[in-house]
A and B are shown apart, each in its own frame.
Chain A
Amino acid sequence: DAEITQSPRHKITETGRQVTLACHQTWNHNNMFWYRQDLGHGLRLIHYSYGVQDTNKGEVSDGYSVSRSNTEDLPLTLESAASSQTSVYFCASSGDFQETQYFGPGTRLLVL
């Protein structure tokens, strides 16, 4: 069955370190998204991609970067982790612009 996976599921890191969160989907979806979710807030869009070599900034992109070298993967990199980036990170994918987004299981990141 097609799916979307994220790794690691839990991560503890230190302030200033570079961290990469992986997202892999086997739906063959063109669109992929990274969100963060914090208590009291809705999901906030970090970066998104509409296809290979395409990346776009979301509303909270500062301190994050992504690259899309193939259809299946959209890794999210925190260049220099900050305590404010402690959050739950969700990756999602969709086949086309108005289609449903399907979410991965999430990565819980703690920055000490």
Chain B
Amino acid sequence: GQNIDQPTEMTATEGAIVQINCTYQTSGFNGLFWYQQHAGEAPTFLSYNVLDGLEEKGRFSSFLSRSKGYSYLLLKELQMKDSASYLCAPMDSNYQLIWGAGTKLIIKP
């Protein structure tokens, strides 16, 4: 079956760095998306990886290893506004996004 595994909740300090891991099993693979979702709001797109390696976009970076079925989202210089849920969503062979329950990130001053 298809499965996504992310930590349920993480806590970090303002100004620090945090890494949110995601492991996945899908039927086929057409890339992996990361979304951010603030409480009560819609998911918003953060990053897309289809090849192995690191993609950097400002304070956020995303890494993919297809052979290991593994990705992580790295957030640097954490700000209070980064408190949100982070959703890992690989795309399967039918171009469907497979969604995990997400990781709730709590930022403390």
Contacts and interface: CB of A to CB of B under 8 A. Distances in A.
Interface residues of B, number: 21
Nearest to A108: B40
Contacts of A106: 41-42
Nearest to A58: B96
Contacts of B60: none
Given A105-B41, A106-B42, A98 B97 contact: no
Q: Main secondary structure on chain A at its contact with chain B?
A: loop
A43 interface: yes
A98 B90 CA distance: 11
Interface in A79-112: 90, 97-98, 100-106
Interface in B1-18: 4
Interface string A67-88: 0000000000000000000000
B96 A40 contact: no
B33 A42 contact: no
Contact of B42 (A41, A42, A98, A104): A104
A90 B43 contact: yes
B87 A42 contact: yes
Contacts of A100: 33, 45, 48
A58 B76 CA distance: 36
Contacts of B41: 105-106
A25 B102 CA distance: 26
Contacts of A90: 42-43
Interface string B69-109: 00000000000000000010101000111011110000000
A97 B101 contact: no
A97 B95 CA distance: 6
7 contacts: A41-B101, A42-B87, A42-B102, A43-B99, A45-B97, A101-B33, A103-B42
